[in-house]
Amino acid sequence: MSATKASVVEEAGVSSMPAKKSFGARVAAHFKKWWWAHLIAFIIALLVIILPVVYVGYPKIAQDAVNDSTLDIKQMVISDPTPETFHLNQTQILGSKSSYHPQIYEFDAEVSLGGAEAPFAMVTVPSVKSNDGAEIHVDQHVDLSDSDAFGDFATAVMMNKEVSLNIYGRPGLKEGSLPKTTVTYNKTVSMKGLNQLEGFAVSEFHIMIPSVNGYNMNGTVLIPNPSVMTITMVFLLFPTNVFKILTNQGNLSLSLAVDGKSMGTTYLNDLVLKPGDNNVPMLAKVDQAAVIGLLTSSDNPYKDGIVPFDISGKSSSYNGKELPYFTKALSANKLTVKLDVGAALKEIGLNLIKSALGA
Ligand SMILES: *[C@@H]1O[C@H](CO)[C@@H](O)[C@H](O)[C@H]1NC(C)=O
Ligand SMILES: *[C@@H]1O[C@H](CO)[C@@H](O)[C@H](O)[C@H]1NC(C)=O
Ligand SMILES: *[C@@H]1O[C@H](CO)[C@@H](O)[C@H](O)[C@H]1NC(C)=O
Ligand SMILES: *[C@@H]1O[C@H](CO)[C@@H](O)[C@H](O)[C@H]1NC(C)=O
Ligand SMILES: *[C@@H]1O[C@H](CO)[C@@H](O)[C@H](O)[C@H]1NC(C)=O
């Protein structure tokens, strides 16, 4: 249409000046001739803008979203331990403030103690849509790639109030119709530890005469597991975790010593430590002669019959196999319990304290 108009203008001014097209006409003519070049230029410009957005900006935005997300371990159950494997049942909660909610594909993650050099295991993290509060369930058999490293982790859990766990992997990520990209997932999460079994106590114990299967002492041991589940999952300012461990139905033996002298072994059979207070039946093989000898000796330092026993982990085993990593964790922790041996002896009719004092 403008072409027609242009030709009218041309005719009008034909006598005076040489043909001078209007600006609009020239532009129109130019586009008519060179439209394809402009289309190509436009497409190139579009690609120049879009491609970096898709292939540079989008992966960066995706990485930023992943970096900004949080992870909270709500539950972690380690069961069926063998020296090289265990079963892991873990529930993690993803936190995301991002307006993107991409799909994160299943990936293999290296799991290690925070700050450690070597991971102790590889865990398959299932695919998840990264919505705030999304639950990730890991329920699998885990091969320990480095059982020493797992020993260090178990020790850290035993000894500390807080312990950190690093999860590292390179998952694929997809947002809407944008292409799949790969991001680095590198999160260190903090969990409550066993804090040296603070609060560990022998709630009651009895001397068994006659002994049963070689055990001459029984009782109940209280083992607090301080990790507490917090239901307020919305504001995770100070994340708390539930950490169920350590030896699922394992047999734990603890050595007893007084003043560095061995006095026997305590057995906590079929122990499963759950979050909260655990009341665990205890059996012991105590060198009664040594204990009685100590209490009746003239230089008995325990006049009231209350004897401090140093307890240190001797071994942890499951299905007859020793678990070096838990043994390592147990050995790292030394506990002292004061047992009223005088009262226990009195219970069986041996009033040692009185006779010792009377002598
Ligand atoms: C995101 O985390 C990765 C891996 O830890 C790191 O290399 C990268 O610098 C971080 N990116 C941003 C944008 O913070
Ligand atoms: C793992 O934990 C979940 C949730 O606590 C439970 O439903 C499931 O039965 C557990 N799986 C195994 C194998 O113990
Ligand atoms: C993960 O991030 C931490 C610091 O945030 C860094 O020290 C570590 O090297 C990273 N891990 C890997 C495998 O890049
Ligand atoms: C300890 O053994 C005595 C005698 O064998 C028994 O009566 C008692 O119930 C046992 N106590 C515990 C806590 O196992
Ligand atoms: C624990 O010890 C008891 C008694 O010695 C034994 O019967 C049981 O099989 C052991 N359990 C495991 C899991 O090793």
Ligand 5 mutation pick, 79, 80, 269, max ligand atoms within 8 A of CB: 269
Q: Please return the burial class of 246, using the count of CB atoms within 10 Å of its CB with bins 0-12, 13-18 and 19+.
A: buried
Ligand showing the shortest atom-to-Cα distance for residue 319: 5
Ligand 1 mutation pick, 56, 60, 63, 182, max ligand atoms within 8 A of CB: 63
Please state the rounded mean pLDDT for residues 166-191: 91
Ligand showing the shortest atom-to-Cα distance for residue 67: 1
pTM for the full model?
A: 0.75
Q: Per the structure, how many domains does the chain have?
A: 2
Distance CA 345, CA 197 (A): 28
Task: Give a yes or no: residue 148 inside a domain.
Answer: yes
Please state the rounded mean pLDDT for residues 22-42: 86
Atom of ligand 1 nearest to the CA of 184: 4
Residues 182 and 255 occupy one common structural domain: no
- What is the CA(275)–ligand 3 centre distance, in A? 30
Atom of ligand 1 nearest to the CA of 67: 1
pLDDT band at 32 (very low <50, low <70, confident <90, very high): confident
Ligand showing the shortest atom-to-Cα distance for residue 211: 4
67 lines ligand 1 (CB under 6 A): yes
Flag whether pLDDT at 252 surpasses 60. no
188 lines ligand 1 (CB under 6 A): no
The CA–CA distances, whole Å, from 3 to 7, 17, 27, 31 equal 6, 20, 10, 12
Report the mean per-residue pLDDT for the chain: 77
User: Final residue of a domain: which of 158, 193, 228?
Assistant: 193
Q: Which domain holds residue 210?
A: 196-357
166 lines ligand 1 (CB under 6 A): no
Flag the least confident range among 7-16, 40-49, 275-284: 7-16
269 lines ligand 5 (CB under 6 A): yes
- The highest-confidence range among 79-93, 216-230, 331-345, by mean pLDDT, is 79-93
Peptide bond into 239 cis (omega under 30): no
Ligand showing the shortest atom-to-Cα distance for residue 219: 4
Flag the least confident range among 123-132, 237-246, 264-273, 289-298: 237-246
Task: Give a yes or no: residue 212 inside a domain.
Answer: yes
pLDDT band at 300 (very low <50, low <70, confident <90, very high): confident
pLDDT band at 244 (very low <50, low <70, confident <90, very high): very low
Atom of ligand 5 nearest to the CA of 249: 13
pLDDT band at 253 (very low <50, low <70, confident <90, very high): low
Residues 79 and 127 occupy one common structural domain: yes
- Count of other CB atoms within 10 angstroms of residue 248: 18
- The highest-confidence range among 34-38, 60-64, 93-97, by mean pLDDT, is 93-97
185-233 pLDDT tens trace: 999 999 998 888 888 888 888 887 777 888 888 888 888 887 532 211 1
pLDDT band at 35 (very low <50, low <70, confident <90, very high): confident
- What is the CA(318)–ligand 5 centre distance, in A? 8
**Residue whose CA lies nearest to ligand 4 atom number 1:** 218
Flag whether pLDDT at 108 surpasses 90. yes
Between 21 and 86, whose confidence is greater?
Answer: 86
pLDDT band at 298 (very low <50, low <70, confident <90, very high): confident
Residues 160 and 251 occupy one common structural domain: no
At 122 the pLDDT is 94
Distance CA 302, CA 341 (A): 10
User: Final residue of a domain: which of 138, 170, 193?
Assistant: 193
214 lines ligand 5 (CB under 6 A): no
Residues 327 and 304 occupy one common structural domain: yes
User: Final residue of a domain: which of 160, 193, 226?
Assistant: 193
Residues 349 and 219 occupy one common structural domain: yes
Q: What percent of the chain has pLDDT over 90?
A: 21
Please state the rounded mean pLDDT for residues 89-114: 91
211 lines ligand 4 (CB under 6 A): no
Flag whether pLDDT at 39 surpasses 60. yes
Between 59 and 124, whose confidence is greater?
Answer: 124
81 lines ligand 4 (CB under 6 A): no
Question: Is residue 346 within 8 Å of residue 339, measured between CB atoms?
Answer: no
Q: Please return the burial class of 16, using the count of CB atoms within 10 Å of its CB with bins 0-12, 13-18 and 19+.
A: exposed
Between 12 and 83, whose confidence is greater?
Answer: 83
255-268 pLDDT tens trace: 666 666 777 777 77
Question: Is residue 116 within 8 Å of residue 149, measured between CB atoms?
Answer: yes
**Residue whose CA lies nearest to ligand 5 atom number 4:** 269
- Pick the closest to residue 30 from 14, 41, 18 (CA basis): 41
CATH code at position 144: 2.60.40
Flag whether pLDDT at 156 surpasses 80. yes
Please state the rounded mean pLDDT for residues 267-282: 81
Residue type (1 letter), 161: K
Residues 207 and 182 occupy one common structural domain: no
Ligand showing the shortest atom-to-Cα distance for residue 213: 5
Between 143 and 243, whose confidence is greater?
Answer: 143
Residues 200 and 339 occupy one common structural domain: yes
Phi, psi angle pair for 48, to nearest 5°: -60, -35
Between 23 and 243, whose confidence is greater?
Answer: 23
Residue with tokens 């925070």: 114
